[in-house]
Amino acid sequence: MVHFHPTHGFVIRHLATFLVAIVNLSITIPHAAAQTPAAGKAPAAVARKLPPPQNVGLKPTADGVQLSATFYPSPLEKEQAKEAVPVILLHQFKGSRADYDSLAVELQKLNCAVLVPDLRGHGQSTKQVMSDGKEKTIDPALLNKQDFEAMVAVGNDLEACKSFLMEKNNAKQLNIDKLCVVGAEMGAALAVNWADRDWKWPLLTTGKQGQDVKALVLLSPTWSFKGLAISPAATNRDFTGKLSWMIVVGDQGLKEPGEAKRLKQALEHSVLANAPAGSPKLDYREIKTSLQGTKLLGVGNLASEIAKFIDQQVGKSTHPWTDRKSPI
């Protein structure tokens, strides 16, 4: 005969309870995980594995500058990839493409294809081959108005970015007709001037040359950056009314809030602040901070808000993909 100590029954009962809990846990955990997508907490794109960023060299500019960039491919695949929104991120003076790491990923989560260049004289884009074949190093401290104008000139920095994205368009990896540009301080001045140039390309009987930029996001824009003015473009209603605009500025800056408000007022004549969804829109935000430029991206959830703005204003718009193998 086997004799049990009084405590044995206590141990057996609690062991049984523990085993039942383990069984229930193995059942409920997968069930709870399965409920997460149905709750609608995250967009479908987040569930996709994001492709790793790629370091790329862009085609040399017309004046011999070799630009380095990082490309974040869209997670969309197969036929869906043709609907990916391409976004160019332009850093501020003495900044680099690294300033946009967080925003690039937020945009990628919403299916965008993102290109982030080091502009001439910055980051790893400091070498220029001159007409005599000699190479020189570009010092950002010595850049002047002519250098900034060169960045937006035909065949140079911004055109090299678009040329790269055009190849991706023709490979059915994005839709160039949904192009967006984000610029901070210097990058904002470049973005406005180049987008205005893009809209001045006339339509051809064989297809489009430009008119691809559909939205601009400007971080701490100024009316003029080291002589590169935005006033001609910002007051051109034939241009401004075709795009959606988002302006963000820290309200404690010395001159940035006043400059951003001046741009907002110029745009209000041609862009409706409360336009229906899908129409060009003006979104103006002052954030309670002294931070400016790309440093604003670390305040709150601004990076996510910018990505949502681009997705709502451009990603959900109707611009059919077309093959653009003819020269831009």
Do residue 283 and residue 236 come from a single domain? yes
For residue 326, name the pLDDT band (cuts at 50, 70, 90): low
User: Looking at the domain assignment, is residue 326 inside a domain?
Assistant: no
Measured CA to CA in angstroms, residue 173 lies from 100, 112, 136, 263, 296 at distances of: 22, 10, 35, 34, 30
Q: Where are the beta strands (DSSP E) in 81-130?
A: 86-90, 113-117, 127-129
For residue 276, name the pLDDT band (cuts at 50, 70, 90): low
Do residue 64 and residue 29 come from a single domain? no
User: Looking at the domain assignment, is residue 327 inside a domain?
Assistant: no
Domain span at residue 36 reads 1-41
Distance in angstroms (rounded) separating the CA atoms of residues 203 and 62: 23
Q: Which residue has the tokens 């997670």?
A: 75
At 227, give phi and psi (nearest 5°).
Answer: 95, -15
Among the listed residues 237, 122, 284, 286, the one whose alpha carbon sits nearest the alpha carbon of residue 190: 122
Number of domains in the chain: 2
Quick: pLDDT tens for 222-252. 999 999 999 999 999 889 999 999 999 999 9
Do residue 97 and residue 20 come from a single domain? no
For residue 271, name the pLDDT band (cuts at 50, 70, 90): confident
Do residue 270 and residue 286 come from a single domain? yes
Exposure pattern of 223-240 as b/e (b: 16+ CB <10 Å)? bebeebebeebbebeebb
Q: Which of 23-27, 186-190, 263-267, 270-274 has the lowest mean pLDDT?
A: 23-27
Do residue 207 and residue 296 come from a single domain? yes
The predicted pLDDT at position 274 comes to 65
Quick: pLDDT tens for 142-160. 999 999 999 999 999 999 9
